[in-house]
């Protein structure tokens, strides 16, 4: 009896090794990795390094704000504005000092920031990037949430430039930046980009292709050796389904800190990720404009209007609902080659002359007020 059973078992084994192998490996796979989501364990957080103190202090404010409902947030915003208006005149000098201090927190690591400083930092940030708020929708994704606002191009007196402006520029990015490299005709600039590039991979050893030679280079070395006047960075598309927006923001900050350390004189442009078309926009996956906007808003928060600027080129290419116009793209994500000209002109229009900027710094709050006005009347859609 037992022998018979054994024989049957052996026969099965002999007859279907492939089925058994697939089943066994599937079990192991589900048990140990569960990338398939069958057990519904969300391990996405654990994959990354633990969050350190500095990051927490920096982004506490963000999380607190998100957890409150929009009404409260709006009220808080108003209060803050009033606050700010009140103390601009009185403590202008003091504020300036503090600002510099905050700059350091932003750029270099320092002790744990106090709540007071946190608040001021946020003010500073709000001065640099303007947001248009809207009622956020409910999202149920581990990758993102609805930011509830749209970031506008950093308000600034940009100057119209020509091609020579880009002779000391570096572009860091993914396939869309590759498009700029291929079709925008900015031959003077150095492009470091790859299909599928992410902010997480950017500074890896031999992580990114230098388009002039086609070789993989170590961006860390390049940026320490060569001086750049401007660094354009546009990353975020390949991060849509990776980690979450907070992680993206943290990594972005880390990269910016590095860039500032290696290239203290460079003007850094954070470029908004271009939205996708209506056909490509899919609310059931993480691949949609809400998520892209979430990433854009996060990166826009890092602009300071002094040496870090946020450029939103979306109004050039999107319709009134924010979708990338269908006739500008084949796959709903990338522009056709001929439309990069428009993008180039947009970059031309957003030149920053740093001498002019330092002068303005001295003009204190009045200038600041002007900047704000310019921001709302600027070329971005509201």
Partner 1 sequence: MLFSSVGFLFRFLPIFMIVYLTFPKYRNIVLLAGSLIFYGVGEPYFVLLLLLSVLINYGLSRYMFWEPRSPQVNRKKKSARRRKRALILAIVIDLGVLFVFKYWDFAAGNINRLSGHGLLPLLSLALPLGISFYTFQMLSYQIDCYRGTVKEQAKLLPFATYVCMFPQLIAGPIVRYSDVSGRMAERKVRIRDIENGLKLFTAGLGLKVILANQIGTLWNLIMTAGAGRLHALVAWLGAFAYSFQIYFDFWGYSVMAMGLGKMLGFSIPRNFDIPYVSRSVSEFWRRWHMTLGSWFKEYVYIPLGGSRKGSARTILNLFVVWALTGLWHGADWNFVLWGSAFFLIISLEKKTFGKWLENSKVLGHIYIIVLIPVTWVIFGITDMGQLAGYLGNMAGYHKEEILVGMTQLIRYLKEYGILLIACVIFATPLPGKVYWKWKDRWFMVLFLLLVFWWSVREIISGSNNPFLYFRF
Tell me which stretch binds partner 1 (CB under 8 A): 30-38, 94-102, 119-127, 292-300: 30-38
Of 264 and 326, CB closest to partner 1: 326
> Is residue 264 part of the contact set for partner 1 (CB under 8 A)?
no
Q: Could you tell me which stretch among 29-37, 76-84, 95-103, 250-258 binds partner 1 (CB under 8 A)?
A: 29-37
The answer to whether the beta carbons of residues 305 and 124 sit under 8 Å apart is: no
Instruction: Give Cα separations from 101 to 106, 249, 324, 357, 370 (angstroms).
Output: 9, 21, 40, 19, 24
3-state secondary structure of 206: coil
Q: State the minimum distance, in angstroms, from the CB of residue 213 to partner 1.
A: 12
Q: Which of 3, 32, 35, 213 binds partner 1 (CB under 8 A)?
A: 35
CB 170 within 8 A of CB 232: yes
Q: Which helix (H) or strand (E) holds 231?
A: strand 230-234
Distance CA 369, CA 371 (A): 5
Q: How far is the CB of 180 from partner 1 (least distance, A)?
A: 13
Which H helix or E strand runs over 69?
none
Is 144 a residue that touches partner 1 (CB under 8 A)?
no
- Pattern 319-358, partner 1, x by CB under 8 A: ----------xxx-xx-xxx--------------------
Q: Which is nearer to partner 1, 188 or 264 (CB)?
A: 188
178-237 binders of partner 1 (CB under 8 A)? 179, 182-183, 195-196, 214, 237
Give yes or no for residue 139 binding partner 1 (CB under 8 A): no
Question: Which of 85, 87, 65, 89 has the alpha carbon at shortest distance from 76?
Answer: 65
Q: How far is the CB of 101 from partner 1 (least distance, A)?
A: 39
Q: By rule CB under 8 A, what string of x and - marks binding of each residue 239-258 to partner 1?
A: -xxx----------------
Residue located via tokens 């116009």: 325
- Which tokens go with 341? 């000209």
- Shortest CA distance to 313 belongs to which of 176, 201, 192, 211? 176
Closest contact distance (angstroms) between CB of 183 and partner 1 is 6
Give the separation between CA 352 and CA 345, rounded to whole angstroms.
14
Residue environment code for 74-85, b if the CB has 16+ CB neighbours within 10 A, otherwise e? eeeeeeeeeebe
Looking at the Cβ atoms of 29 and 134, the one nearer to partner 1 is 29
Applying CB under 8 A, among 165, 287, 309, 310 the residue interacting with partner 1 is: 287
Q: What residues make contact with partner 1 under the rule CB under 8 A?
A: 12, 15-19, 21-22, 25-26, 29-30, 35-38, 174-176, 179, 182-183, 195-196, 214, 237-238, 240-242, 285-287, 329-331, 333-334, 336-338
């Amino acid at each position: 009896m037992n022998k018979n059973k054994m024989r049957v078992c052996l026969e099965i084994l002999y007859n279907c090794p492939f089925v058994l192998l697939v089943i066994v490996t599937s079990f192991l796979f589900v048990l140990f990795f569960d990338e398939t989501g069958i057990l519904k364990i969300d391990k996405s957080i654990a994959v990354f390094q633990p969050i350190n103190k500095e990051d927490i202090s920096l982004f506490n404010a963000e999380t607190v704000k998100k957890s409150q409902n929009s009404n409260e947030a709006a009220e808080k915003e108003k209060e803050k504005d009033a606050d700010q208006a009140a103390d601009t005149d009185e403590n202008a000098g003091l504020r300036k000092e503090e600002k510099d201090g905050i700059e350091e927190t932003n750029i270099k690591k320092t002790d744990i920031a106090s709540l007071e400083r946190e608040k001021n930092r946020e003010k500073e940030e709000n001065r640099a990037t303007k947001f248009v708020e809207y009622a956020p929708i409910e999202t149920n994704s581990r990758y993102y949430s609805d930011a509830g606002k749209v970031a506008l191009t950093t308000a600034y007196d940009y100057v119209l430039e020509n091609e020579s402006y880009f002779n000391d520029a570096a572009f860091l990015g993914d396939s869309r930046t590759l498009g700029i490299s291929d079709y925008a005709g900015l031959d003077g600039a150095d492009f470091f980009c790859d299909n599928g590039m992410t902010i997480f991979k950017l500074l890896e050893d031999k992580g990114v292709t230098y388009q002039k030679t086609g070789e993989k280079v170590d961006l860390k070395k390049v940026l320490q050796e060569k001086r750049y006047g401007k660094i354009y960075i546009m990353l975020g598309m390949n991060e849509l389904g990776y980690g979450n927006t907070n992680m993206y923001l943290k990594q972005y900050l880390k990269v910016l800190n590095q860039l500032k350390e290696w290239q203290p004189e460079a003007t850094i442009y954070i470029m908004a990720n271009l939205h996708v078309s209506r056909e490509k926009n899919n609310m059931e996956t993480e691949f949609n404009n809400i998520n892209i906007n979430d990433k854009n808003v996060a990166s826009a928060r890092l602009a300071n209007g002094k040496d870090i600027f946020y450029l939103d080129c979306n109004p050039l290419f999107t319709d009134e609902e924010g979708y990338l116009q269908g006739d500008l793209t084949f796959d709903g994500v990338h522009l056709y080659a001929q439309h990069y000209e428009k993008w180039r002109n947009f970059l031309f229009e957003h030149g920053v002359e740093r001498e002019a900027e330092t002068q303005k710094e001295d003009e204190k709050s009045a200038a600041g007020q002007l900047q704000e006005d310019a921001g709302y009347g600027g070329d971005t859609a509201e």
